């Protein structure tokens, strides 16, 4: 691959942020983005540009993560292209006013719900999937008729630069613009009065974003994180479960917000299942995963040090090797982990999988419910009663039965958190709906004007009661 130099990112000034937002607001007020064909034209242009710049984007992902071309395409570029394809296919139908029934109280009348754009939106993305987690919500914002300012993560500078070039090649600045920079840029952008804010990142930063939005009563979607549990029941297909859990956990070296964060494993199958997982890691990444072209690296030294400190929080069943110079941490499984250990307190966001065992399913469910609601929850079992018991007695943003992570790929499923793991959801039509205000309009003819509702009210209440029932 050709060399792609990461730029030095300068923070935007408060005045520049204000001018950019006002420039976009003037463009939005021109009402060009209200036109469906205008939106479709630019979404198609974005689709074409991603195809044309695919190699550059994949190279940037490799530079930032040493992410393989296959993984970069499947989890980032291909994901966005699939979302664009789905949106372009359905956008005209989504944008049509929805007729709803009018009550007898207001008849004769018709009632419709109109999807109207909020206006100028701010989209802030994290570093772990820096292309997908910025461009996917952006597709929803444009599909719904908004203007948008995009803030990629400075921790993935090569991908940030690639995104800036991509958006600039398709959209005029007054329609959509990328602002690069660090924490100060985020702060100055959040000082502005946006019409909508979409943030993906950690829970603590999410609280800061929510506080900034509250000052202007700005509607907000918060896509956060959490410790996503993974139940493995003794009735599970252990071979399939091992493959799907290892894949979901060590994808992107574990730097995935919906990766299985810890296992809740039926004690009766602990040893055989962990042996299958160890064999699966070897099958996927070889005897030495550090040499595998398919295994990425930790994003920076700070996260490497944080993750390395977790390795002493249990007994290493497999993995545990590290290389600070390469920011490499092997796919690791920890046994005999205490619930009070550091690795069980915060979202791991790395290739370390603690294992907790249980003798009774209700104990495992209780363990999950005593913690914050997770972004995802997984249950592996061939027993439908076990599946239903776990789902009925827990709460999470989403999840899978007998799989991990892949619920994100279904356009019809909303993706989002609950409680500490987030507010709101997106993907497919849910992205369009997220960036649309649902405007309810009642329309009545003038030729009929029933006087029941007008004063004087004497003698009318009994008729009103008959209508309402």
Residue 223 is a catalytic residue: yes
Structure tokens at 328: 């490499």
- Using omega within 30 degrees of 0 as the cis cutoff, is the peptide bond preceding 113 cis? no
Active-site entry in 59, 147, 154, 257: 257
User: What DSSP string describes 354-379?
Assistant: EEEEESSHHHHHHHHHTSPPPSEEEE
**Is residue 317 within 8 Å of 279, Cβ to Cβ?**
no
Residue 147 is a catalytic residue: no
| Long-range CB contact pairs, 301-304, < 8 A, 24+ | 301/327, 303/255, 303/349, 303/350, 304/329
**Is residue 180 within 8 Å of 7, Cβ to Cβ?**
yes
Q: Give, for 443, the enclosing helix (H) or strand (E).
A: strand 436-443
Distance (Å) of CA 241 to CA 131, 263, 355, 398: 29, 11, 14, 18
**Is residue 88 within 8 Å of 428, Cβ to Cβ?**
no
Q: What whole-number distance in Å separates Cα of residue 433 and Cα of residue 126? A: 22
Place of tokens 């027993």: 383
Beta sheet of 398-401, edge-to-edge order = 315-318, 332-335, 352-358, 262-266, 229-232, 376-380, 398-401
Q: What whole-number distance in Å separates Cα of residue 99 and Cα of residue 107? A: 15
Active-site entry in 154, 180, 223, 347: 223
Residues with active-site annotation: 223, 257
């Amino acid at each position: 691959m050709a060399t792609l130099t990461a730029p030095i990112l300068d923070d935007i000034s408060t005045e520049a942020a204000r001018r950019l937002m006002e420039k976009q607001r003037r463009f939005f007020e021109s009402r060009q983005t209200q036109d469906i064909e205008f939106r479709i034209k630019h979404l198609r242009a974005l689709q074409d540009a991603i195809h044309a710049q695919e190699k550059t984007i994949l190279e940037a992902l490799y530079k930032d993560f040493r992410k393989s071309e296959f993984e970069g395409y499947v989890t980032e570029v291909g994901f966005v292209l699939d979302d664009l394809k789905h949106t372009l296919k359905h956008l005209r139908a989504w944008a049509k006013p929805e007729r709803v029934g009018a009550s007898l109280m207001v008849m004769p009348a018709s009632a419709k719900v109109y999807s109207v754009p909020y206006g100028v939106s701010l989209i802030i993305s994290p570093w772990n999937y820096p292309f997908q987690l910025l461009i996917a919500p952006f597709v929803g914002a444009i599909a719904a008729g908004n203007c948008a300012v995009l803030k990629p993560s400075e921790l993935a500078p090569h991908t940030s630069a690639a995104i800036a070039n991509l958006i600039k090649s398709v959209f005029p600045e007054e329609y959509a613009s990328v602002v690069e920079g660090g924490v100060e840029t985020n702060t100055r952008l959040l000082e502005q009065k946006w019409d909508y804010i979409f943030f993906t990142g950690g829970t603590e930063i999410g609280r800061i974003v929510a506080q900034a939005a509250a000052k202007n009563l700005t509607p907000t979607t918060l896509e956060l994180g959490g410790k996503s549990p993974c139940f493995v029941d003794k009735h599970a297909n252990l071979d399939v479960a091992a493959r799907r859990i290892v894949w979901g956990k060590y994808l992107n070296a574990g730097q995935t917000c919906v990766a299985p964060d810890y296992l809740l494993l039926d004690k009766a199958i602990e040893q055989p299942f962990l042996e299958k997982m160890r064999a699966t890691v070897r099958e996927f990444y070889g005897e030495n995963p550090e040499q595998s072209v398919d295994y990425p690296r930790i994003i920076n030294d700070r996260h490497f040090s944080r993750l390395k400190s977790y390795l002493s929080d249990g007994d290493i069943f497999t993995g545990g090797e590290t290389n600070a110079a390469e920011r490499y941490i092997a796919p690791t499984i920890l046994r005999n982990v205490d619930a009070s250990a550091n690795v069980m307190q915060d979202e791991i966001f790395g290739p370390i999988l603690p294992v907790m065992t249980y003798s009774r399913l209700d104990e495992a469910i209780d363990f999950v419910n005593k913690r914050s609601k997770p972004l995802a929850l997984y249950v592996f079992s061939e027993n439908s009663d076990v599946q239903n018991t776990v789902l009925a007695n827990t709460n999470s943003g989403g999840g899978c039965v007998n799989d991990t992570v892949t619920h994100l790929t279904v356009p019809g499923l909303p993706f989002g958190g609950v409680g500490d793991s987030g507010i709101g959801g997106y993907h497919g039509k849910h992205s369009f709906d997220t960036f649309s205000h649902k405007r309810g309009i009642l329309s009545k003819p003038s030729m009929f004007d029933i006087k029941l509702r007008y004063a004087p009210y004497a003698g009318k209440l009994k008729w009103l009661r008959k209508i309402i029932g």
